[in-house]
């Protein structure tokens, strides 16, 4: 289901409101809720708005969809990004489960990470994915050395280690099977170029070429919710929230 918004601000407000409602429902039903979010520049405004939501944040566990193998004080750390934009204000009391622990390589602590992430409640209440112009989502990169395993819907493991030409550092990523059973699964993209990539991914083809296809094709009881807005200077959609 595609939700189009006229601006980044409108998208961020709507997405934050929707995510907060699902988290509140999880807390009311189960006493706790879980959220996995992406790094990068696209979700910055959404995360800032979500951080101010009126929730019992002490009952929320937050983790990342994926992480670069760098310490939290590194400028490319998704954990550092999350602390600056989400884990502040009311949301500062949420429990944060990082995907990086001090080690020379992620391979050394893969089993520890699998156990830690596998121990979180399943399914996640909310997962918010992003997408690059190369069609990657999470750290499912074209040419990734473990891409086949990471996007295998039958893979029971929670995390995979990924190295790929477009990834820069080694990455830790949640696996497809750990992501797509979320109660609310969102793909948050902005700009005409990414919308074009998404349209291409809906056509027949291999997930090894455009890994976002693995998410689009994964069997789910609930639809994937796609939130899109134009970048500054691009034409907005004709409707503030056009569902197709």
Question: pLDDT in tens for each of the 244 residues of the chain?
Answer: 999 999 999 999 999 999 999 999 999 999 999 999 999 889 999 999 999 999 999 999 999 999 999 999 999 999 999 999 999 999 999 999 999 999 999 999 999 999 999 888 889 999 999 999 999 999 999 999 999 999 999 999 999 999 999 898 999 999 999 999 999 999 999 999 999 999 999 999 999 999 999 999 999 989 999 999 999 888 765 433 443 3
- How far apart CA 68 and CA 86 sit, in angstroms, is 18
Is there a domain that residue 154 lies in? yes
Is there a domain that residue 16 lies in? no
Q: What is the pLDDT at residue 235?
A: 77
Domain residues for the domain of 141 are: 34-229
Q: Total structural domains in the chain?
A: 1
Q: What is the pLDDT at residue 236?
A: 67
Residue 206: C-alpha distances to residues 39, 115, 161, 215 (Å):
25, 31, 21, 12
User: What CATH code is carried by the domain that includes residue 214?
Assistant: 3.40.50.1360
Q: What is the pLDDT at residue 239?
A: 37
- DSSP string computed for 82-108: HHHHTSSGGGGGSEEE-S--S-SSGGG
For residue 229, give the DSSP letter: E
Is there a domain that residue 19 lies in? no
Is there a domain that residue 239 lies in? no
User: Quick one: how far is CA 43 from the chain centroid?
Assistant: 9
Q: What is the pLDDT at residue 244?
A: 37
Q: How many CA atoms lie within 13 A of 213 on its CB side?
A: 18
- How far apart CA 44 and CA 118 sit, in angstroms, is 27
Q: What is the pLDDT at residue 240?
A: 39
Q: How many CA atoms lie within 13 A of 174 on its CB side?
A: 31
Helix, strand, or coil (residue 225): strand
Is there a domain that residue 242 lies in? no
Is there a domain that residue 236 lies in? no
Is there a domain that residue 88 lies in? yes
User: Contact at 8 Å (CB) between 53 and 22?
Assistant: no
Indicate the pTM of the whole model: 0.95
- DSSP string computed for 141-163: -TT-TTHHHHT-TT---SEEEE-
Is there a domain that residue 238 lies in? no
């Amino acid at each position: 289901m595609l939700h189009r918004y006229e601006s980044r601000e409108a998208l961020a407000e709507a997405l934050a409101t929707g995510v907060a409602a699902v988290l509140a429902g999880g807390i009311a039903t189960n006493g706790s809720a879980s959220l996995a979010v992406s790094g990068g520049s696209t979700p910055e405004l959404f995360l800032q708005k979500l951080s101010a939501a009126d929730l019992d944040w002490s009952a929320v566990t937050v983790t990342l969809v994926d992480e670069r193998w760098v310490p939290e004080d590194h400028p490319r750390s998704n954990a550092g990004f999350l602390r600056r934009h989400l884990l502040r204000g009311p949301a500062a009391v949420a429990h944060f489960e990082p995907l990086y622990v001090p080690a020379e390589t992620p391979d050394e602590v893969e089993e520890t990470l699998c156990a830690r992430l596998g121990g979180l409640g399943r399914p996640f209440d909310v997962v918010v994915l992003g997408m690059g112009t190369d069609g990657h989502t999470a750290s499912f990169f074209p040419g990734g050395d473990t891409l086949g395993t990471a996007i295998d819907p039958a893979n029971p493991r929670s995390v995979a280690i990924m190295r790929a030409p477009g990834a820069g550092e080694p990455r830790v990523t949640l696996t497809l099977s750990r992501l797509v059973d979320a109660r609310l699964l969102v793909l948050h993209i902005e700009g005409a170029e990414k919308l074009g990539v998404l349209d291409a991914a809906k056509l027949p083809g291999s997930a090894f070429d455009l890994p976002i296809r693995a998410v689009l094709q994964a069997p789910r009881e609930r639809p994937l919710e796609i939130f899109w807005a134009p970048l500054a200077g691009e034409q907005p959609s004709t409707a503030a929230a056009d569902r197709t």
